[in-house]
Amino acid sequence: MKSAAQQAMNGNRTGIQTAPELAEELIEGAKGAPPSSEGGIEDIAEYRGEYITEGYPIGSMPMLPVSEEAEAEEEEVGMAVLLDKLSERLAFERMGTRLYEALLNKVEMLGESEPGPTLEDIEHIGSEELEHFLLLNRTIEDLGGDPTVQSPCADVAGVASMGIMQVLTDPRTSLPQCLQAILTAELTDNAGWELLIKLADNLGQEEMKAEFEEALAHEEEHLQNVRAWLSECVLEAAEV
Amino acid sequence: MTLDIFKEKGTPLDKQLFTWRDLVKAPTSKLDDDAFTRVRIILMNGLESDAVRFSHATARMMNGDMRLPLAKVRRVEHHQQTMVNWLLPADLSPLETTIGFEQVAIEVTASVALREPDDYMAQVYRFGLLEDFDHLYRFSALMDRVGGGDANNIIQNYTDIMPGRPTSEEHRAPEDDLREHYVSAQADPLTKIHAITITASENQTHDYYMTIGPMFADPIARQLYAEIASIEEQHVTQYGSLVDPNESPLEKWLLHEAMEVYNYYGCMMYETNPRVKEIWERFCNYELGHLHMVMELFQQMERRDPAEILPQTLPEPIDYQSHREFVRETLNNEVDLRASGTQFTHKDDEADRSPLSIAYREQMNSEGSPSETIAAGYTWTPGTELVQKKSAFAKGASA
């Protein structure tokens, strides 16, 4: 049964079929009006190109920690990349914890549903996201880095995932809509851990690699579950 | 309109109360609400924003007696603005909101131009209208080409998306942006209400673009917002100069409150969303409360009768509907008008009559024109121009 709020809605008005006569006038008008300048999207590329060639970066890493073990310059370069990507993962896991808190709130209010995650499922994943965040904190500290730094990759990852939190915290979004957004996060997260493992391996960080493989195993399970819940919810809604 | 603003006292100021929960209601739906509901929200946010702006500016220039009443009303106006602006939903992006702002500038200004009793003022509104009309086209191109979105999802077929007076030609020297002002003692009250309404609305548009412009990553978007915000600044200059500077601050305040009553009442008459309609009704009563408080101050402090300034009943409200035919007719007849001092001239005469504007424009456009670049060869198409593109990454949108 529809809620009072749902019943108040008149249906989606964004398409041209909402008002065919008005749409026809709009289309006919647009077609009949020549653009004020010739050219195409290639002109936009020139604008972008000018700024790209100026070469200003998003930002940089802080001065590298002085490490007695980092004897060669290549090692320092590798360490800088590792710290940047560790910071990215840390920021993502920290956000991930908050994402699952928001999901938990939503399911608590809407009530558990079948199909869909139980409150326990959500708490379980959220706890593992927190564990990963804390693991990354320790890892960065052990390397002599500063876990409170927002590295360039962490910053960019934050920009890339800005919409995910918007979806989760919007009171109007449904459980499947939230799961769809979380799927984006989990897919990225899985690929992120895979990359970190490869990087740690190539830099000879054996212990780190082993810990990260354990984290990846958790993330694979998160991904599998989120994918399944979403799929089941959508198929159920379609009654197929 | 039959609202008798002398008889209707509205809600007394001390009964105009809010809570944080009350201020932040469930927002409207970007997808399901009528585009004109959004138009009204954006307009009324702009008017309340101007109420606060006006009140601060006045307080800075007034003696002690006025400071407290201004502060009391200002606090309520601020919260009214909050409640109204927070009706916009979180899924409405800054660029989508921009499209909404331009729809306001087109449809509301068109209605004002049609209703305006003074021919010169009506001409000024039609002049500005064709510029905002062009902005909608440029921002639609930006939405399509940088965001992969269709502006018609926001405007819902009501408003045309095509070039107006090209934005690149709208840049003028300040000497050509000032207009003649109405004369308070002779002007129709509707003329005054129109001038304050449109000035307020354009001021908020300017401030909004100046706030969100830096949020875009793409250099073309950043430049386009910089360019169009500059035109909005010109528009605030133009419309603000229509208001008689000889009115006393209290007279201006009285008119501002009357303007707010007029506009909330108009919103109330047209609103299709019952939840939003309740807010318009509530705030119409709040504004009547403010108006009566200022009437009393006007009587006490200036020893003048508010009936000298205000009409007994309010004029017909802004017409919240598509003005496509009027806009097209205006476009057809007046797109080649340019400003020369406080008057208008054909673009062929601009070089002789407005040399300062020509020089200013050439300077501003000398390293390229973002508004021309974003819309180079652009024709709005339902579902975006990609619908007609045959292969990705071929040169040109229709390739």
Q: What is the mean pLDDT of residues B285-310?
A: 97
Tallying the residues shown for chain A, one arrives at 240
- Six-digit token pair at B156? 């819902």
Residues on chain B touching A48 (C-beta within 8 angstroms): 218-220
> Which pTM value belongs to this model?
0.95
- Six-digit token pair at A74? 């290549």
Q: What is the pLDDT of residue B399?
A: 41
Closest chain B residue by Cα to residue A21: B157
Min distance A18 CA to chain B CA atoms (Å)? 8
- Six-digit token pair at B251? 């007279």
Place of tokens 């041209």: A16
Is residue B369's pLDDT more than 50? yes
pLDDT (tens digit per residue) in B349-367: 999 999 999 999 999 999 9
Least Cα distance to B33 among B100, B105, B107, B95 occurs for B100
Residues on chain B touching A31 (C-beta within 8 angstroms): 379
Least Cα distance to B373 among B166, B124, B83 occurs for B166
- Six-digit token pair at B388? 């007609």
Residues on chain A touching B220 (C-beta within 8 angstroms): 44, 47-48
- Six-digit token pair at A39? 């050219």
Q: What's the pLDDT band for A4 if we cut at 50, 70, 90?
A: low
Is residue B396's pLDDT more than 70? no
Q: What's the pLDDT band for A76 if we cut at 50, 70, 90?
A: confident
Q: What's the pLDDT band for A63 if we cut at 50, 70, 90?
A: confident
pLDDT, mean over chain B:
96
pLDDT, mean over chain A:
93
Min distance A236 CA to chain B CA atoms (Å)? 24
- Residue B365, chain A, CB below 8 Å: the answer is no
Q: What's the pLDDT band for B398 if we cut at 50, 70, 90?
A: very low
Looking at the DSSP bridge assignments, the partners of residue B340 are: B343
Is residue B337's pLDDT more than 90? yes
Is residue B55's pLDDT more than 90? yes
- Six-digit token pair at B190? 């509707």
Residue A66, number of CB atoms within 10 A of its CB:
8
- Interchain proximity A13–B35, CB inside 8 Å: yes
pLDDT (tens digit per residue) in A98-123: 999 999 999 999 999 999 999 999 99
- Residue B397, chain A, CB below 8 Å: the answer is yes
Which of B34, B159, B379 minimises the CB distance to A35?
B379
Tallying the residues shown for chain B, one arrives at 399
- Six-digit token pair at A11? 């249906």
Least Cα distance to B322 among B86, B152, B122, B125 occurs for B152
- Residue A4, chain B, CB below 8 Å: the answer is no
Q: What is the mean pLDDT of residues B4-19?
A: 97
pLDDT (tens digit per residue) in B189-226: 999 999 999 999 999 999 999 999 999 999 999 999 99
Q: What is the pLDDT of residue A70?
A: 52
Is residue B232's pLDDT more than 80? yes
Contact B175, B387 (CB under 8 A): no
H or E element: which one contains B339?
A: strand B337-340
User: Residue B391: which residues within 8 A CB-CB, separation 6 or more?
Assistant: B399
- Residue B64, chain A, CB below 8 Å: the answer is no
Collapsing DSSP to helix, strand or coil, B55 comes out as helix
Q: What is the pLDDT of residue A35?
A: 95
pLDDT (tens digit per residue) in A140-158: 999 999 999 999 999 999 9
**CA pair distance B106, B326, nearest whole angstrom:** 11
Using CA atoms in the order A47, A53, A59, A63, what is the torsion angle rounded to 10 degrees? -170
Is residue A5's pLDDT more than 70? no
Q: What is the pLDDT of residue A72?
A: 64
Contact A190, A223 (CB under 8 A): yes
Burial of A204 (0-12, 13-18, 19+ CB in 10 A): exposed
Is residue A217's pLDDT more than 50? yes
Residues on chain B touching A172 (C-beta within 8 angstroms): 26-27, 89
H or E element: which one contains B291?
A: helix B274-302
Q: What is the pLDDT of residue B397?
A: 44
Q: What's the pLDDT band for A67 if we cut at 50, 70, 90?
A: low
Q: What is the mean pLDDT of residues B337-360?
A: 98
DSSP one-letter string for B171-223? ---GGGT--PPP-TTTS-HHHHHHHHHHHHHHHHHHHHHHHHGGG--SHHHHH
- Residue A28, chain B, CB below 8 Å: the answer is no
Is residue B395's pLDDT more than 90? no
Q: What is the pLDDT of residue A9?
A: 54
- Six-digit token pair at A204? 């000879």
Q: What is the pLDDT of residue B152?
A: 98
pLDDT (tens digit per residue) in B63-102: 788 999 999 999 999 999 999 999 999 999 999 999 999 9
Q: What is the pLDDT of residue B62?
A: 83
H or E element: which one contains B243?
A: none
Q: Report the percentage of chain B scoring pLDDT > 70.
A: 98
**CA pair distance B124, B133, nearest whole angstrom:** 14
Q: What is the pLDDT of residue A3?
A: 53
**CA pair distance A97, A23, nearest whole angstrom:** 45
DSSP one-letter string for chain A? ---HHHHT------SGGGSHHHHHHHHHHHHHS--SS---THHHHHHHHHHHHH---S--PPPPPP-SS--SHHHHHHHHHHHHHHHHHHHHHHHHHHHHHHHHHHHHHH---SSS--HHHHHHHHHHHHHHHHHHHHHHHHTT--TT---HHHHHHHHHTHHHHHHHH-TT--HHHHHHHHHHHHHHHHHHHHHHHHHHHHTT-HHHHHHHHHHHHHHHHHHHHHHHHHHHHHHHHTT-
Q: What is the mean pLDDT of residues B131-157?
A: 98
Looking at the DSSP bridge assignments, the partners of residue B343 are: B340
Q: Give me the phi and psi of B16, to 5 degrees please.
A: -90, 85
**CA pair distance B386, B372, nearest whole angstrom:** 19
- Interchain proximity A44–B328, CB inside 8 Å: no
Is residue A73's pLDDT more than 90? no
- Interchain proximity A47–B368, CB inside 8 Å: yes
